[in-house]
A and B are shown apart, each in its own frame.
Chain A
C-alpha cells in the first residue's frame, strides 16, 4: 500500500501553545485510518492544517505523491481531499438537492448554466436515495435533524468524487442507529476504493471500523498501529487515563 497523505513535521502554535507539534504520519491509500487522542490533543487543528483551513508554521503535507505548496480548502477539494466538520454544517436555506449540487466541481465556463441541470439533479437524487434522504430532497437543509445534517454533510463531500475523506467526529451527538448508518456508508464507500481519515471519540466505533489507529497527544504522534495493539499500549493508556 502506498501513502496517499503524508504529513511531515507539522507544527502550529497559537501564542505560546503548540497545538500541533512536530507531527508526522501517513495515511495509506485504501485504509480507514483513525486519529484519536484526548480532548485538546490537537486533532481538529491537525485536520485544519491538512485541509488548508489553517497554515502550518512548519512542516509539509503531501497528497497523492505531490507536495501541497499552498494549502487551500477549495483547491484540495478539487484535488480529491475533502472533509466534514465536527458540527453538522449545511447550507440551511438551500434545499438538500442544492446542498449537494453546489459541491459538484464546476469549471468556470459552467457557472452560467442552470443551477440544477438534469444530470446534476439526478446525481444528487441518487446520492440522497443512497443516504435515505430522498423523501426530503426539496426541503430546506435547515429543517433536518442533527443526525440528518451530519449525513447530508457526509453526502455533500462525496459529490466532489474525492479520494480521501476526512471525517471530523462523525458519531458525535448522533443516536446509535445513525452511528450504524454512518458506519455502513463508510464501509460501502471504502469497498469502492475511498480512503478515510477519521477523528472520533467513540472507541467502539473506532475499534470496529478503523485500521490503523493513530494516537495523538499534546499535538504529536504518540503511537500508531492496529487497534488491538494501540489499545494495550501503556503510553496510550497513560495519555487517556493519566499515570
Chain B
C-alpha cells in the first residue's frame, strides 16, 4: 500500500489550516515548503495590510449571471450566495473586498489551461466581487457551478465549489479558500477539501441551503459565513532597558 505523507509545516492554527505538504494532492509535492516556518513578533507590517485601502477603490461586480458584457444571461441554476464575514471574536468585518471565481454550470472554467470537454457558456465569465456592508454581510448572484474532472489521480473529480479571496483588516486576516455545497458525494474523495485537518473545520467550508434567502420565482439561497483572524495584537514592544548611570 502506498504511503501518503502529510507534512507538519503549517501556517496558522493546526486544527484549521492545511499542511503545505499533503501528498494526496499531487501539486503540493514539489511546491510545499519543507523547512520550519520562522516565528516572529507581529509588527506594524503584519498588523496593517492592504484590505482597507484596496476595498475603498475596487468597484463591485456582484452579479455573475450578467457581467459577461454580452447582454445575455448565464445558463444554470441561479443562486444567491450570502453570508457574513466575521473576526474570531464574532465582530463583523465591514467594507472589505471579496473576490470570487468559479466554473460554469457544466464545470468548465473560462481559462486557457482548462481544456476538458465541458461546454463553455458565452454569457458566463465566472468572476465577481463585492464589499461587505456595515454588518459584514456580502451577497452575490451567480449560478451553481458544476463538478469537473482533474488529473490528480485516476477518475478524479473536484466537488462543485466557489473560490473566495478575502482581505479583511490586516495581513493576518488575508484568506483564500473554497466554499462547497451541501450533500455532495464528492466531498469525501476530494484531496483538496480533505487537506483540512479536522472534520469540524471541513464542515465550515460547506454552505447551507437557506430557504429564507431563496427568492420565489427567481433563485435558490445559500448561506456561508467566513471567520478571519483578527488583528488584536499590538505591535511588539521590547522590554524597557535598564538605564545605566
A, B bound: no
Q: B residues engaging A (CB < 8 A)?
A: none
A interface residues with partner B (beta carbon < 8 Å): none
